[in-house]
Amino acid sequence: MSEPILHIHETADQTLVALADFFIETAKQSIIDNGRFSVSLSGGSSPKKLYELLATPEYSSRIDWDKVDFFFGDERNVPADHPDNNALMVRKALFDPLRIPAENIFAVDTSLPPDEAAQRYAETIQNRYQAEHVRFDLILLGLGDNSHTASLFPHTPVLHDQSVSVKAVFLEDQNVYRITMTAPLINLGHRLAFLVYGKGKAEAVEAVLNGPEDIENHPAQLIRAAEGEVHWFLDEPAASALSQ
Ligand SMILES: O=C1O[C@H](COP(=O)(O)O)[C@@H](O)[C@H](O)[C@H]1O
């Protein structure tokens, strides 16, 4: 298992540019190697600016977006037109501006009950890869200030799920469901890339990267690429608690 690779930049904007470049270079290489690029997107508040940046002419002109397949590492259990829906956020920031063909977008069907939505999405991923091994070229991830990533939240049963799959997670404190890829599925990715910025995430970054193993409280510690690489794109405030 390889060590995490840190990319620390002074500001959040510089961090976003570095990750946008990394996204494009990974996509280009995957298209050269395999003819297509498969990426799993993160949701939440941090990545919206990244998607908006990728939609600008400077980035959008650098790859053939028709050769990109988009998946989601997690989704809120809300209707497709709800403001909290991750796919809606990406649609507005990236898919619509770039006119991504509908057949390249693999979103979670949140009109189904959560367990069924999760199972259907796991099947969607399996079917997409057919006989091939399920391995995304790139998986984008965020980090909550409570050390969750995707929807792997502290003290939830999915943290112990060993299947390469997608599961529904009930968050008791919020009384909501989310749908998430399991850690074993995420860990199969060729490249995993966390995007974390802001001082509010500094303690979580330190705990996940350098703290004692404590999966229940710091679920992002589960993310260890089986054979690939794990990259962390951090701004200086988010990296400020890192021990040497
Ligand atoms: O990987 C992810 O992380 C976030 C936490 O990110 P934040 O920017 O909202 O703090 C998570 O909630 C999101 O759904 C997920 O894809």
The predicted structure's pLDDT at residue 37: 96
Question: Please, is 213 exposed, middle or buried when counting C-beta atoms within 10 Å of its C-beta (0-12, 13-18, 19+)?
Answer: exposed
Residue 135 pLDDT: 84
Is domain 5-239 annotated with CATH 3.40.50.1360? Answer: yes
Q: For ligand 1, which residues put their CB under 6 angstroms from it?
A: 42-46, 73-74, 141-144, 149-150
Kindly state the average pLDDT of the residues 141-162. 98
Q: What is the mean pLDDT of residues 91-117?
A: 98
CA 75 to centroid of ligand 1, rounded, Å: 10
154 CA to centre of ligand 1 in angstroms: 13
In this prediction, residue 81 carries a pLDDT of 97
Percent of the chain with pLDDT over 70: 98
Q: Given the CA of residue 47, which atom of ligand 1 is nearest to it? A: 8
- Which of the two residues, 134 and 4, has the higher pLDDT score? 4
- Residue nearest atom 3 of ligand 1, based on CA coordinates: 142
Q: Are 76 and 82 in contact (CB under 8 A)?
A: yes
Reported as a single tens digit per residue, the pLDDT across 9-35 is 999 999 999 999 999 999 999 999 999
pLDDT in tens, 166-217: 999 999 999 999 999 999 999 999 999 999 999 999 999 999 999 999 999 9
Q: Which ranges constitute the DSSP H helices of the chain? A: 12-34, 48-54, 57-60, 86-90, 96-98, 114-129, 183-186, 202-210, 236-239
Distance 130 CA to ligand 1 centre (A): 29
The pLDDT of residue 97: 98
**pLDDT on residue 132:** 63
Cα separation, 215 vs 147, in Å, equals: 9
- The pLDDT, as a whole number, for residue 131 is 55
Q: Output the average pLDDT for the chain.
A: 96
User: Mean pLDDT, to the nearest integer, of 100-104?
Assistant: 97
Query: Residue 244: in which H helix or E strand, if any?
Result: none
What's the CA-to-centroid distance between 151 and ligand 1, angstroms? Answer: 7
* Residue 137 CB contacts under 8 Å (≥ 6 apart), including other chains: 26, 27, 30, 34, 37, 38, 39, 189, 190, 191
**Beta carbons within 8 Å of 242's beta carbon, 6+ residues apart:** 205, 206, 209, 210
